[in-house]
Homo-oligomer: A and B are copies of this chain.
């Protein structure tokens, strides 16, 4: 951590401030420039809040040097993490596709789609049971019944199931019933929920918040990992920008950015990013080429009559043909080279 002292601050005040910092077990180096005095803190600064340091009147600015996450940090865990979701591997060089409808609607629907996506090569089945909706007047999901139907689909197809959790009181049920627990974008910083999930050992699919930086996403993963659960899979699903043509702006540079900073797998959700079914194909291909560990895609047999998000769902036939070109692109995709870290 680097602390820039305001110009004109008397020497003795700087000394007093240095003593305070040294009292916290840090070594403080002092540099004098033409207009500024700069203090460099050496030692473990992770317990020191830069914003707190900035509250001192004599401080001009505070600059972090080390990333604030540890367990998610590739520096301390250079090899890719490999997460096992009920037998299906995510990360560590594998390429895995999660597919299924936005909402579970009926047994016939979910089992039918599950069979279709399995045939096309999907490794896991997604389906919303509890749905976060902007409007209280929109369909909120089949809830418990949806969960039960997902279990039937798993039984019939063998696909592990992924669904979104909405609050900590659902954890016990989800740990029992679900293979990969999804934390939605709107709950990425629901810290009470993250802490509770950290106490389980279930794989967690953590979606990036609409306006969350990559660092904040990694800090939210750190919440889960700090509690003891290191089975975290990250998901980029589009961020909020000024552009209105697409629902969100898919940030594919998050893939190399995360690969460099963290060992956790990162998958891409092209369906929510664009919000339009015809963009799923180009964005999926781009995600694979950029080195994603997987995709999560909305597939529906009858999008126009879907109970939610029909406009961004593709049909099983389209999904099948997409899967076959993805396999070709995957051969040439970007792969992070650990030697670049210089460890």
A19 CB-CB contact with B under 8 Å: no
Alpha-carbon distance between A226 and B34 when the two chains are bound, in angstroms:
21
Q: Are A36 and B311 in touch, CB under 8 angstroms?
A: no
Q: Are A214 and B243 in touch, CB under 8 angstroms?
A: yes
Q: Are B211 and A240 in touch, CB under 8 angstroms?
A: yes
Q: Are A36 and B55 in touch, CB under 8 angstroms?
A: no
Contact stretch, chosen from A84-92, A109-117, A199-207, A270-278: A270-278
Give chain A's interface residue range (CB within 8 Å of chain B): 35 or more
Contact stretch, chosen from A93-101, A121-129, A151-159, A163-171: A163-171
A12 CB-CB contact with B under 8 Å: no
* In the complex, chain B residues whose CB is within 8 Å of the CB of A65: 2, 4, 33, 36, 38, 61, 63
Closest CB-CB distance, A220 to chain B, in whole Å? 8
How many copies of the chain does the oligomer comprise? 4
A56-71 interface code vs B (CB 8 A; 1 in, 0 out): 1110010101101100
Closest B residue to A194 by CB, please name it.
B136
Alpha-carbon distance between A219 and B133 when the two chains are bound, in angstroms:
10
Closest CB-CB distance, A302 to chain B, in whole Å? 9
Alpha-carbon distance between A195 and B52 when the two chains are bound, in angstroms:
35
* In the complex, chain B residues whose CB is within 8 Å of the CB of A255: 282
Q: Are B38 and A33 in touch, CB under 8 angstroms?
A: no
Q: Are B242 and A253 in touch, CB under 8 angstroms?
A: no
Alpha-carbon distance between A253 and B243 when the two chains are bound, in angstroms:
10
Among B58, B137, B214, B343, the residue within 8 A (CB) of A7 is B343
Q: Are B6 and A342 in touch, CB under 8 angstroms?
A: yes
Closest B residue to A33 by CB, please name it.
B42
Q: Are B137 and A46 in touch, CB under 8 angstroms?
A: yes
A24 CB-CB contact with B under 8 Å: no
A23 CB-CB contact with B under 8 Å: no
Closest B residue to A191 by CB, please name it.
B132
A310 CB-CB contact with B under 8 Å: yes
> Known contacts being A137-B47, A216-B134, A332-B325, is A311 close to B7, with CB within 8 Å?
no
Closest B residue to A68 by CB, please name it.
B135
Q: Are B33 and A283 in touch, CB under 8 angstroms?
A: no
Q: Which A residues from 205 to 256 make CB contacts under 8 A with B?
A: 209-211, 213-216, 219, 222-223, 226-227, 239-246, 249-253, 255-256
Q: Are A257 and B246 in touch, CB under 8 angstroms?
A: yes
* In the complex, chain B residues whose CB is within 8 Å of the CB of A56: 304
A31 CB-CB contact with B under 8 Å: yes
> Known contacts being A211-B242, A250-B252, is A340 close to B278, with CB within 8 Å?
yes
Among B29, B191, B275, B282, the residue within 8 A (CB) of A31 is B29
A265 CB-CB contact with B under 8 Å: no
A14 CB-CB contact with B under 8 Å: no
Q: Which A residues from 286 to 335 make CB contacts under 8 A with B?
A: 286-291, 303-304, 306-313, 325, 328-329, 331-334
User: 22 A-B residue contacts at CB 8 Å?
Assistant: A2-B2, A2-B65, A34-B42, A51-B312, A52-B308, A54-B310, A135-B219, A136-B219, A136-B227, A137-B226, A166-B192, A186-B189, A186-B190, A211-B211, A214-B243, A239-B242, A252-B252, A252-B283, A256-B278, A256-B283, A282-B289, A282-B291
Nearest 8 A-B pairs (CB), nearest first? A55-B310, A211-B211, A282-B334, A285-B289, A286-B290, A289-B289, A286-B286, A54-B311
